[in-house]
Amino acid sequence: MTADETARIEQACARLIARYANLNDAGDWDAVAALYAPDGRMARPTAPDAWIVGRDAIRAAFLARPARITRHLCANIVVDVLDADTAVAESAVALFVADAPVRVGGFHDRLVRIGDHWLFAERRGYLTF
């Protein structure tokens, strides 16, 4: 794999992470769930060992939450390309919720290319404070 190919993958994966935050803040749960591979799984930062598996279950988990106004700020995104179709990433996140304390944590991601799209195979959140 060339340096340019690696850089394109890193950029696509970093964009996926940022897009996830923006769609989450917009409350577009269909679009958020579509960012996962069909059998993808996620664990929220508040429950890092409670896996939610599959797009339908992920969408349902977001719909089950009370509506809230949020802003996720992602930083320190580092993507490691494993091969042409897989990568891992780590990112930091600060979560601002209206009328609540700021939460700081991050995500460990496993990303896969399916067709022309990079998707989350696994997204595991954690809280630092």
pTM of the model: 0.96
* Digit-coded pLDDT (tens) for 27-46: 999 999 999 999 999 999 99
**Domain 3-127 coded CATH 3.10.450.50:** yes
- Residues 32 and 59: beta-carbon distance below 8 Å: yes
Residue 44: half-sphere exposure toward Cβ, Cα within 13 Å: 11
Query: For residue 17, what pLDDT is reported?
Result: 98
pLDDT per residue as tens digits for the range 58-100? 999 999 999 999 999 999 999 999 999 999 999 999 999 999 9
